């Protein structure tokens, strides 16, 4: 990459960081609520919330390699590379004092209930419950958020899209999700989780 592209790359990576924070907060709050709805204790749901906040940290390491691209335009090889992010997140978090449960949720949040997910093709109840919950909230949060290549979907459309992919999810978790998603408290939670970081300066994040 040319040196003169440095500022543009920096801004791209900063926007990735902002997007990651926004997505993490929304997924974390939804995961906490859905965890309680699925029978987790307060402590277990809070631990899941922590896992959800950091589940995509590995994507930040990929920003410079996927610079200027959107998922829609990924080649097969680039998609394989992108699918490494859960393992990269796991490796990054190993340096810190996270519980085994949080680490497992981060590593396996892209496993599918039918065994078609990654990185280990786990199936059914072999996937930790927290990861099955995060699978649902992560996908929903992405669908109701703006992306470079599309505008956000409304809640009903997002749920219908997920129904089309129901084989990827734990049906019991998804039913609990459907029950809570139109509740006033959940709608309020979603709105309160939408952070506006447009004016966030890099000096607010880094000591420079």
- Residues assigned a catalytic role: 59
Count Cβ atoms below 10 Å from residue 62 Cβ, excluding itself.
16
Enter the DSSP assignment of 128.
Answer: -
Tokens 């992108």 belong to residue: 82
């Amino acid at each position: 990459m040319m040196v003169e592209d440095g500022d543009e790359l920096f801004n791209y990576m900063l926007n990735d960081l902002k997007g990651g924070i926004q997505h993490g907060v929304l997924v974390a709050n939804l995961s906490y609520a859905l965890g309680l709805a699925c029978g987790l204790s307060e402590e277990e749901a809070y631990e899941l919330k922590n896992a959800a906040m950091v589940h995509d940290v590995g994507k930040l390491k990929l920003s410079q390699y996927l610079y200027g691209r959107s998922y829609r335009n990924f080649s097969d090889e680039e998609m394989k590379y992108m699918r490494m992010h859960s393992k990269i997140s796991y490796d990054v978090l190993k340096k810190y004092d996270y519980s085994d449960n949080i680490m497992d949720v981060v590593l396996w949040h892209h496993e599918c209930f039918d065994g078609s997910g990654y990185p280990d093709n786990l199936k059914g109840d072999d996937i930790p419950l927290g990861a099955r919950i995060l699978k649902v909230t992560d996908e929903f949060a992405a669908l109701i958020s703006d992306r470079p290549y599309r505008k956000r979907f409304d809640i009903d459309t997002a749920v219908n899209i997920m129904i089309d992919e129901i084989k990827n999810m734990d049906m019991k978790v998804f039913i609990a999700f459907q029950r809570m998603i139109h509740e006033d408290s959940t709608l309020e939670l979603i709105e309160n989780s939408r952070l506006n970081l447009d004016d966030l300066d890099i000096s607010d994040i880094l000591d420079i």
